[in-house]
Structure 1
């Protein structure tokens, strides 16, 4: 059971209700993360707006999911690991091997060298709080990414950190719709 309220459309603060309703409409259910973020309407707005920006960046949708799964796994957020595994799997954004490599935090397991470089770079960004070495940045660039995308990885990690830390704080239960991907 979560340590913070998990709001529904009916119980959410007025400022959060439209965003909770939008999540229900988009997903067919209210992810418990949304219900928890509704405790702070500005945090929910931040999550949804930065999420849109993150989805519109120059990384492919599969690359975005690599960053999100690695961040969630690194931050020990089972809820977000499950959610992003479901997205990557059902939308076929990553191969099964790519999903497992991300979940295992093991770039060597990827069947795609470019995704392996992204995974390694994401892990370095997280481990070093952004202060990656010149060699780590260069390996990312040499894999076919660009400097804009290095900042987009940081943006993805920042978004994931809000979600992961909020779930860890709240001890958010994984929705039944996500449990098969936990």
Structure 2
């Protein structure tokens, strides 16, 4: 059971209702993350706005989902690992074994996605102060300086939703149950 109320479109503060309607229409259900964020309309607005902006970045959907799953795993957010696993498999059409490697913070068989995961871990571990060698390796994998900043953008989005979920201790929606992930030794 969530530690924070899970708002519905009817029970949410007025300012949250349009965002809840949008989220329900986009997902076909109301994710518990969104329902708990609705307690603070500005937090919900920020999350959805930054998610939309992140979706316009120069990183591909597969690369963005690698950032999200990597960050969620490090932050110990099982809800977000599950949610982004669903996106990675269904929308980004990533191979299940590749997604499992991302979830487990293992080396990836795809060199570009491995570079994204490694750089994401470096950004989080150093709070952005990555060593020159880490930035050089990311660039050598074919990424630009804009892409490096877009990884930071993705990490900022992940931090908001991961920390909100960890605070709320949201239960996984039934629609995401097949993608369940438990934080254990994965958490840095």
3-state secondary structure, aligned to 1:15: helix
TM-score in terms of structure 2 length? 0.94
State the match for 1:73 in structure 2: 73
Q: Which residue of 2 aligns with 1:54?
A: 54
Match of residue 63 from structure 1: 63
Partner SS state of residue 57, structure 1: coil
SS in 2 for 1:16: helix
- Kept in 2: contact 1:61–1:93 (CA 8 A): no
C-alpha distance in structure 1 between counterparts of 2:117 and 2:161, whole Å: 19
Q: Distance in 1 between matches of 2:114 and 2:92?
A: 18
Partner of 2:170: 172
Q: Helix, strand or coil: the match of 1:68?
A: helix
| 1-structure distance, mates of 2:60, 2:47 | 19
Farther-moved stretch of structure 1 (12-21 vs 97-106): 97-106
Deviation at 1:96, TM superposition (A): 1.8
Consecutive aligned runs of 4 or more in structure 1 exceeding 6 Å deviation: none
Aligned residue number for residue 115 of structure 1: 113
Aligned mate of 1:127, from 122, 125, 128? 125
Structure 1 contact 97–111 (Cα < 8 Å) conserved: no
What is the CA RMSD across the aligned residues, in angstroms?
0.8
Task: Count matched residues.
Answer: 180
Q: Which runs of 5+ in 1 are unaligned?
A: none
Equivalent residue runs for 1:8-87 within 5 Å: 8-87=8-87
Q: How much does 1:121 deviate?
A: 0.5
1:92 deviation in Å? 3.8
The unaligned stretches of length 5 or more in structure 2 are 181-188
